[in-house]
């Protein structure tokens, strides 16, 4: 009987020790892996991504919503001169207290802008909003590896009239530290 109680105690301690709901502070950093743009230019032309770089950062405490920032640039394919879509979004998220997995749900608002040698004269800065979900698995006590999906809505107005729709989704990979 003592052996069973000891085994259950050890297993539950390990489970709870690696769960962020018992942490005092959680910190996460990630990077975008892909950005798929589902929106279109004002004339109906498809917009394609040619790579994305940047970072996602989150800080939170138990029970309260956490805060985060997403900052990344997406290079647009087949554009001369080179054009990048710069995105900056501020987030509020909640880490659900589920043992074994770390499920995070969040929303954010921010801005997008096209960056190139002539873009400032042709396009306004646009607004962006998103919702996202992240699923993490503990890799060792206090650390988790997580995959995130962000659904982003963004439109940028053309100064001469019309607008481009840069809505789409961003997949990311990150690591979290809970202590």
The two tokens of residue 8 are 């259950």
- For residue 36, name the pLDDT band (cuts at 50, 70, 90): very high
Which region holds residue 119: left if phi is over 0, alpha if psi is between -120 and 50, else beta? Answer: alpha
- For residue 97, name the pLDDT band (cuts at 50, 70, 90): confident
Phi, psi of 46 (to 5 degrees): -70, 145
Q: What is the pLDDT of residues 114-165, one digit of tens each?
A: 999 889 889 999 999 999 999 999 888 889 999 999 999 999 999 998 899 9
Closest CA to 134 of 95, 168, 162: 95
d(CA 98, CA 122): 48
């Amino acid at each position: 009987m003592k052996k069973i109680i000891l085994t259950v105690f050890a297993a539950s301690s390990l489970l709870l020790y690696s769960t962020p709901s018992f942490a005092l502070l959680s910190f996460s950093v990630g990077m975008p892996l892909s950005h798929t743009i589902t929106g279109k230019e004002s004339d109906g032309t498809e917009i394609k991504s040619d790579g994305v770089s940047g970072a996602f950062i989150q800080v939170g405490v138990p029970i309260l919503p956490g805060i985060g920032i997403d900052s990344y640039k997406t290079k647009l394919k087949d554009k001369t001169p080179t054009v990048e879509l710069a995105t900056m979004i501020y987030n509020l998220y909640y880490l659900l207290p589920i043992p074994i997995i770390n499920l995070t749900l969040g929303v954010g608002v921010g801005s997008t802008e096209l960056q190139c040698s002539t873009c400032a004269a042709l396009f306004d800065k646009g607004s962006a909003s998103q919702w996202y979900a992240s699923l993490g698995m503990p890799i060792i006590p206090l650390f988790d590896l997580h995959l995130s999906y962000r659904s982003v809505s963004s439109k940028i107005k053309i100064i001469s009239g019309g607008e481009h729709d840069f809505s789409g989704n961003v997949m990311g990979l990150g690591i979290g530290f809970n202590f």
